[in-house]
Amino acid sequence: MPTPPAFSNAQKAKRDFGVRLGEIRKAAGFTGRALASSCGWHESKVSRIENGRTSPSATDVQAWAETCAALDQLPDLIASLEAIEGMFVEWRRMERTGLKRAQQAVLPLWERTRRFRTYSPWLIPGAVQTESYTRAVLRGTSARRGLPDDVDAAVTVRKDRLRLLYEGNRTFAVLIEESVLRNVIGGADVMAGQLGHLLTVGELPSVSLGILPMGLDRTGMPPVEDFWIFDDSQVNVELISGYLTITQPGELAMYADAFRRLADLAVVGAGARRLVAAAIEALE
């Protein structure tokens, strides 16, 4: 899977921040080793930060600014650090107390969004999941990541969020690969219920369902990473290691274009229902 542009952008931002800290160090007349010694750090820490291999903490940045007599730059440095950290959040940080917190964190974004666009190559998207399917997905996630078991609480939060399908004049455009219909999650009974639910919610005025059939020529638009577009203001991308938040206009436009190209390949209406029905029959 190609590296998402936002992930590359996050890495570049971290490197650029390290370069900026390096310039502050040099202007103060410190070698990397001298700065590390003054701050009580291992001598390689300064080099790792300046080369973008290690992310400094806010405490590290404060110590850097104090040592280099650059406290006047500290507020801007901290703001830049927070912006970089917001671009890519590791799952282990977001979920360290369990899955409920991660589910709650996105609720304000969902409540203020009116136009949702989502694409998934692996799973049924959360907005159109059944409670049983959600529980199976989160149970598997919790086990893989060794998290505290708060799956039931997380499912309750997710279930409450699904009311947005029916209120507030919102629209949900959902695109999935046909293979998603054949990926059995939670066992055959759970999967059959989920596929039946997909047929039901696909009839809602607020939901449009598109399925990309297997066997298409995908040269022009191959499968890509799982992503959500919220209005025209934000994209969230789920990776194995973490969660990307994208707000840069150029990158937003890239994801909007990818969604349009994927939608052009998808079947909708009766064609989509036939694919879902075939997947249900295959479970029997």
Assign 1 a pLDDT band (cuts: 50, 70, 90).
Answer: very low
Segment 31-39 shows an average pLDDT of 94
* pLDDT above 80 for 67: yes
Chain centroid to Cα 162, Å, comes to 18
pLDDT at residue number 219? 96
* pLDDT above 90 for 34: yes
Are 275 and 267 contacting, i.e. CB atoms less than 8 angstroms apart?
Answer: yes
pLDDT tens for each residue of 148-180: 889 999 999 888 888 999 988 999 999 999 999
pLDDT at residue number 137? 94
pLDDT at residue number 132? 96
Which two structure tokens, joined as six digits, stand for 143?
A: 């086990």
- Comma-separated ranges of CATH 3.30.870 domains in the chain: 95-283
CA–CA gap between residue 53 and residue 224 (Å, rounded):
27
pLDDT at residue number 100? 86
Q: Does domain 5-88 have CATH number 1.10.340.30?
A: no
pLDDT tens for each residue of 73-93: 998 888 778 767 766 665 566
pLDDT at residue number 105? 81
Which residues fall within 8 angstroms of residue 173, CB to CB, at 6 or more apart?
115, 116, 117, 118, 208, 210, 259, 263
pLDDT at residue number 179? 97
Share of the chain above pLDDT 90, in %: 64
pLDDT at residue number 94? 62
- Comma-separated ranges of CATH 1.10.260.40 domains in the chain: 5-88
* pLDDT above 60 for 3: no
CATH of 95-283, picked from 3.30.300, 3.30.70, 3.10.20, 3.30.870, is 3.30.870
Q: Shortest CA distance to 276 belongs to which of 213, 221, 228?
A: 213
Rg (CA), the chain: 23
What is the bridge-based pairing of β-strands 227-230 and 234-238? antiparallel
Whether the full predicted model's pTM is greater than 0.85, yes or no, is: no
Assign 98 a pLDDT band (cuts: 50, 70, 90).
Answer: confident
